Every structure is written in C-alpha cells, then in structure tokens.
Amino acid sequence: MNTSEILEKLPYTTPFLFVDNLVSIDENGAKGTFTFKEDLDFYKGHFKNNPITPGVILIETMAQIGLVCLGIFLVGDDLNEENQIGLTSTDIEFVKPVFPGEKVTVISEKIYFRFNKLKCKVKMLNENTEIVCEGTIAGIIKVK
C-alpha cells in the first residue's frame, strides 16, 4: 500500500484532518507533515490575543500521522469503512508551543503491534527540527 492509498483510507476530513503529507512509511514507523493554517477555528479562542495550538490537537496530529497511518499500512486491505482505529492511551510531554502557520513533522516508531493493538513512540518536530512534544500513543484496530 502506497502513501496516497493510506491517506485515502484515513477516516477524517477537513476540519479534522491533520495530515498534509505522508513522507515515508514502513512496518517500523511513519513520518508525515502538517501545517497549522492561521485561519483554523480553534485559534479564535486559544488563547485571547496570543493564539497557540491546543495540546489535544497536537496529540491528534501525532495520532493521525504516527498511529493511524501506520495502522492502516500494517492492516492493509483488511481495513474498510466498517473497521475502526480507536485511541486507547497517550503519554505525551509538551516542550514547545506550535503557533498558527507553523509546519510540523511527526515521526513514529512502532513499539509493538500484536492482537490488533498498536503502540508507538512518537515525536513532533517544528521547522527548526526542535522537539515540540514526544511520548507514546497506543490504539486498537478493530477489523471485522
């Protein structure tokens, strides 16, 4: 399965799609990018006169690129619209803020994939290749 096929299988659409490009993917991990456009709705209220990207959105971006894209790759053609990938746990440390207009890169490394549970070490880098946040994310892939 190539990167464009994986992106087509993502169960998200705008405004909740946080993957612009899937740079690389294999059985051990994924790497992708997303640019936080300045007109995204959540910037209007987070925070007044000093917008930054909410941590929950950073986690979602890490999960979409680092966990869901990798899960789709690992499951392959067994994944269809009836199947789901659900988040089960996160342990993320935040180091730097992400401001409107910033492009981030997410890199994941598979820790394990067994019994349809995928756990990954994930980090997000800003355009200066500084760590924005990092930690672990896990999810269950429900395949019928």
What is the spatial distance between Cα 22 and Cα 32, in angstroms, rounded to a whole number?
4
For β-strands 29-35 and 21-26, DSSP reports them as antiparallel
User: At residue 60, what are phi and psi to the nearest 5 degrees?
Assistant: -60, -40
Q: Are the CB atoms for 106 and 61 separated by under 8 Å?
A: yes
In sequence order, which residues have a C-beta less than 8 Å from that of residue 53 and are 6 or more positions away? 36, 42, 43, 46, 97, 98, 99, 100, 102
Active-site residue (options: 3, 11, 17, 46) = 46
Catalytic annotation present for 36: no
Give the strand order in the sheet containing 117-125: 21-26, 29-35, 103-114, 117-125, 131-142, 84-94
Q: Give catalytic residues, as residue numbers.
A: 46
